[in-house]
């Protein structure tokens, strides 16, 4: 089986000013919560987010603000931010069309429930239910994507409200090792099929490695194999043994 076509799609794609989205198919998206039918997320990411909100008891306290955006929606948001807030603010907080993680369907902006919610910079504090959500996020495949200490690498200002689905165990590895997605993608290059990164989890072994542009199919005995492009230079394999 040839996984080469996967290079530009999957949970681990890095989308930024340097690496615009190349995936051409719109992700299959669903509403995260029935109460906010306009906020969509890729269907597996949405299911994990619902589990996470339920697990921390936040379904009625945390509000989904902005999830999947089409290219044309991102154009509209970018234009209106330029008009309303100017170039400095927009450069800091709004990605150019084609370069927004929101176009992947894997990113979501969340707010603490309030009467007034800022669409571009919602309030998501370091306390209470929001902090409980943030602490539990990596167990459900999510990471806070833009943190203060990684601004030089991501090129995006700290966004406490923006969460990215990368899938488990990648979220857990990133948090444990203190990596943002750029660093994690880079780090994985040293691992290969014969020399994978191995995570022991509840008696199971999960192997992760970089597989280049056209990874080969793994042995049949591997029960679950996931392949994701990185949108940079190839694919990442994740094998649950």
Q: Kind and range of the H or E element at 40? A: strand 40-42
Of positions 69, 162, 164, 170, contacts Zn ion by CB under 5 A: 162
DSSP 8-state code for residue 99 = S
**From residue 98, how far is each of 18, 72, 104, 106 by CA, in Å?**
11, 9, 10, 14
Binders of Zn ion in range 165-224 (CB under 5 A): none
Which residue, 148 or 200, has its beta carbon nearer to Zn ion? 148
CA distance 142 to 42: 13
Which residue, 95 or 235, has its beta carbon nearer to Zn ion? 95
Give the chain's end-to-end CA distance (angstroms, integer).
20
Q: Do the Cβ atoms of 191 and 183 come closer than 8 Å?
A: no
- The distance of closest approach from Cβ of residue 65 to Zn ion in the complex, given in angstroms and rounded to an integer, is 8
**From residue 73, how far is each of 69, 82, 101, 181, 209 by CA, in Å?**
6, 14, 13, 24, 35
Q: Which range in 2-10, 32-40, 102-110, 116-124 contacts Zn ion by CB under 5 A? A: 102-110
Considering the rule CB under 5 A, would residue 109 count as an interface residue with Zn ion? yes
Residue 28 has a CB neighbour count (10 Å cut-off) of: 12
Residue 178 has a CB neighbour count (10 Å cut-off) of: 11
The SS3 of residue 106 is coil
Which residue, 150 or 162, has its beta carbon nearer to Zn ion? 162
- The count of chain residues that interact with Zn ion, using the rule CB under 5 A, is 2
- The distance of closest approach from Cβ of residue 162 to Zn ion in the complex, given in angstroms and rounded to an integer, is 4
- Judge whether 159 counts as a catalytic residue: yes
Q: Which range in 13-21, 68-76, 90-98, 160-168 contacts Zn ion by CB under 5 A? A: 160-168
- The distance of closest approach from Cβ of residue 104 to Zn ion in the complex, given in angstroms and rounded to an integer, is 11
* Closest CB to Zn ion: residue number: 162
Which is the catalytic residue, given 159, 182, 183, 226? 159
- The distance of closest approach from Cβ of residue 97 to Zn ion in the complex, given in angstroms and rounded to an integer, is 14
Give the catalytic positions in this structure: 159
Site residues (CB under 5 A) for Zn ion? 109, 162
């Amino acid at each position: 089986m040839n996984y080469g076509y996967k290079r530009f799609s999957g949970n681990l794609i890095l989308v930024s000013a340097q690496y615009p989205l190349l995936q051409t198919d719109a992700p299959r998206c669903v509403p995260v919560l029935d109460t906010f039918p306009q906020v969509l997320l890729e269907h597996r990411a949405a299911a994990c987010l619902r589990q996470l909100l339920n697990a921390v008891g936040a379904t009625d306290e945390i509000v989904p603000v902005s999830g999947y955006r089409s290219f044309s929606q991102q154009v509209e948001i970018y234009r209106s931010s330029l008009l309303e807030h100017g170039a400095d603010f927009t450069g800091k907080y709004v990605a150019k069309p084609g370069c927004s993680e929101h176009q992947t369907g894997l990113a979501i902006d969340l707010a603490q429930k309030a009467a007034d919610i800022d669409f571009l910079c919602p309030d998501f504090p370091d306390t209470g239910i929001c902090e409980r959500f943030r602490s539990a996020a990596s167990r459900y495949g999510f990471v806070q994507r833009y943190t203060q200490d990684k601004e030089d690498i991501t090129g995006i200002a700290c966004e406490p409200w923006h969460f990215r689905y990368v899938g488990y165990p990648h979220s857990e590895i990133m948090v444990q090792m203190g990596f943002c997605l750029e660093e994690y993608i880079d780090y994985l290059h040293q691992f290969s099929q014969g020399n994978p990164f191995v995570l022991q989890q509840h008696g199971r072994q999960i192997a992760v490695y970089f597989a280049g542009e056209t990874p080969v199919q793994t042995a049949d005995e591997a029960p679950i194999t996931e392949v994701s492009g990185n949108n940079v230079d190839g694919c990442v394999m994740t094998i649950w043994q």
